[in-house]
Each structure stands twice: as structure tokens, then as C-alpha cells.
Amino acid sequence: MRLSPAGKIVSIEWLKTPNIRPEVSLDEWIVMPDHIHAIVIINGPVEADGRPPLRKTGNHFGPQRRNLASIIRGFKAAATKQIHLSGHLDFEWQRLFWDHIIDDEDDYWRVKNYIGENPRRWWLKRRGEND
């Protein structure tokens, strides 16, 4: 995938994520012309069933940091700032994002392969071909 100037900035900012948030590890990811796919691993304490513990401290859902929404929000803000500083003032993200909790190893490999194959599928779709 050949990245636009904005895409290069998105890539650079994404790679900074684990340095800014040490609880985050990046797995498979790709910047596409109009979106990004990524597997994000949030490390931290877990319950016996492997899920993160619920913290009830003032907010019914617990602190709103160190969760996927805050990670994506911070990343998008940093990338947008750098993209706008580079002169691409019309750049904006879509408001929401789609997420999926990977349930098991089969699901992990399905998602990882989907991300890896995304540039090929995008190219075929652009050319009017099917997978």
C-alpha cells in the first residue's frame, strides 16, 4: 500500500501508541487509503476468565482511560493535529470506529489474515474484480 502524506503521518502516530501507552501492544495493522485496521492488545490485570476487571469508581463503567475508546481517541487526535500542521486542513476522521473482541485463537488468525489481505482485496475491488 502506497501511503499518502496523511497516511504516512497516521502510520507514524500509530507506531507511537505503545510508547505513549505502555499498557498497549500493537499486533497486525495496516493503513489503508481511507481507514486503518489494527489488532490492539491491552495488557493489564485480568479476571480468572481472562477479561479485564470492572472498576466501579464514580463512573459506572470505571475510569475511561486505558480502554480502547481512549486509545483510539488519543491516536486520532494526535494524527489529526500532525496532518493539519502538515497543511492538509481538510482531513478528518469518521466519528466512530468499529471494534471486535477477539475471542479465541481461530478468531485471532481470521482477523490477522483479514488485515493482511486487505490491501489485495482493496486493489481488486478498485479494479472491479471479486476476491
* pLDDT at residue 53, as a whole number: 58
The band of 55, judged by pLDDT with boundaries at 50, 70 and 90, is: low
* pLDDT at residue 36, as a whole number: 95
* pLDDT at residue 45, as a whole number: 63
Q: 120 pLDDT exceeds 70? A: yes
* pLDDT at residue 122, as a whole number: 87
Three-class secondary structure assignment of the chain:
CCCCHHHHHHHHHHHHHHHHCCCEEEEEEEECCCCEEEEEEECCCCCCCCCCCCCCECECCCCCCCCHHHHHHHHHHHHHHHHHHCCCCCCCCCCCCCCCCCCCHHHHHHHHHHHHHHHHHHHHHHCCCCC
User: Can you give the pTM of this predicted structure?
Assistant: 0.79
Residue type at position 32 = M
Average of per-residue pLDDT across 45-60 = 56
